[in-house]
Amino acid sequence: MVNSNPETVSTDYDTSDILYFEPVTLEDVLNIIEAENPYGLIVQFGGQTPLKLSLPLSNWLKSKEGNNCRSKILGTSPISIDIAEDREEFTKILDELNIRQPLNGIARNQEEALLVANNIGFPLVVRPSYVLGGRAMEIVKDKDELSRYISEAVSVSPDHPILLDQYLSNAIEIDVDALCDSSGSVVIAGLMEHVEPAGIHSGDSACCLPPISLSQLTLDTVKKWTKLIANRLNVVGLINLQFAVKNVNSAENELFILEANPRASRTVPFVSKAIGKPVAKLATQLMQGSSLEDINFTKEIIPKYQSVKEAVLPFKRFPGSDTLLGPEMRSTGEVMGLAEDFGLAYAKSELAAGNGVPSEGVAFLSTNDLDKEKLEDIARELLVLGFKLIATKGTARYLLNLDIQVDEVLKVHEGRPNIEDLIRSGLIQLVINTPVGSQALHDDAYLRRAALEYNIPTFTTIPGAKAALKAIKSLRINKIKTISLQEIHN
């Protein structure tokens, strides 16, 4: 194993026979290959870094210097990996397979970016083509924000273009991990539904397996597209795909593919625990020539229990940081909650992540105008559960017009006592806050920071708030039980 990250290495010291604590660069890896002369190289388990090395490694192995070496890259070929990584090539494949993706484009300078933006329309998801973890990814709402992004946030050049994608508002994101063998057979290992909407980085979003709100039509289409793409890319081993679906409860739902990565995703350990199969180990066997039939994995396993993965976020360790989730990944780990229903599994995952959900008290509500119509059901359910409601002026007026009992509270900049004062006085037990726009983001950052410091559960998306309500309801009628994975899968 080649790994220069002390944190990941220290957790599983017995994973490999030999550990090279070296940078994952071409020069260092070639030195190790020359020293060890392994029969095969696996690049699928290390994220984007080894994928980017696959083509240079393959070229070296075919060169004069590499002729004496018996090594080869196991699993998906470097050419297929390169095609999946190349935005323009991958778009051609999707067009050929008649698979829908969000409108998108590539820009190598400011003029190109404005031209692409005019063709797609705002809002847009913009990101550099050369970073990991969604770093420097943003949602821009107009030309001014796009120009600011290009001039301040990233370095754009012909070698480092930026990617621009249509932003799918109010869409549910779907994650798929699939196992593929060299004969073209593909089996879904895990099909997960995200709790937070598309636009929140998948590493920061909670997700559940099996999915709870996707229609059979959506599930069938996701599985069909997964197999088409995996076969077209000749994937051997693992592939991770991300989809987004709009209008999930209607017959006219729209499914889009966001990306496909011919590698293991961060969800593989979660899927392995949920279905009771060592997915990475099975993928390794497939890369070495076994078929899905050989390893006895010929059909998708639907778990009997509901599993929820939740991100662990490090905001408390960084004074002044904001807890608002976005397209740039901030999580430093993840936890898993497992129960017979989604509500209890989500409650357990929140508890494990250090958040928890309150069973009673005062709930503070403040949402942007686009989210207000979705707030009515949440507010009524909170009242039924015995919570008292308080809200800022705009949200309070909206709810009062619907005959929902709510008290008004001042924003931080409107005077004292304000919402931050109430939080710091221990008078609030739940915060639901979905700001939009730079002024609202700035105004509400203080109250979110106060809620973080006083351990008050805070939800910054409407789907997150709805999941919290399910957790509160489930906790009212169920006790939290600890169940071992062995009990579930044996």
pLDDT digits (tens, 9 = 90+) for 74-112: 999 999 998 988 878 899 999 999 999 998 888 888 888
The pLDDT value recorded for residue 442 is 63
Predicted local distance difference test score (pLDDT) of residue 272: 96
| Least confident window among 150-164, 309-323, 355-369 | 150-164
As a whole number of Å, the end-to-end CA separation of the chain is 31
Q: Is the model's pLDDT at 277 over the cut of 80? A: yes
> Considering only CA atoms, which of 360, 354, 434 is closest in space to residue 391?
434
User: Which of the pair, 249 or 427, is modelled with greater confidence?
Assistant: 427
Maximum Cα–Cα distance for the chain, whole Å? Answer: 79
Bigger pLDDT: 135 or 203?
203
Is pLDDT above 90 for 364? Answer: yes
The two structure tokens encoding residue 154? 């990233």
Lowest mean pLDDT among 19-33, 67-81, 120-134: 120-134
Name the pLDDT band for 41 (thresholds 50, 70, 90). Answer: very high
Residue 354 has pLDDT above 90, yes or no: no
Residue 306 has pLDDT above 90, yes or no: yes
Q: Is the pLDDT of residue 384 over 90?
A: yes
Q: Examine the pLDDT at 251 and tell me if it is beyond 80.
A: no
pLDDT for residue 375? 92
What pLDDT does 437 receive?
59
pLDDT in tens, 129-162: 655 555 567 778 888 888 888 777 666 656 678 8
Share of the chain above pLDDT 70, in %: 93
Name the region of 131 (left: φ>0; alpha: ψ -120 to 50; beta: rest): beta
Question: With a threshold of 0.75, does the pTM exceed it?
Answer: yes
- Regarding predicted confidence, which is higher, 321 or 94? 94
State the DSSP H helix or E strand holding residue 94, giving kind and residue range, or none if neither: helix 87-97
H-assigned helices in 305-392: 342-352, 372-384
Total Cβ atoms within 10 A of residue 109:
14
**Residue 320 phi, psi dihedral angles, 5° rounding:** 85, -5
Mean predicted confidence (pLDDT) in 459-469? 92
Across all residues in the chain, what is the average pLDDT?
88
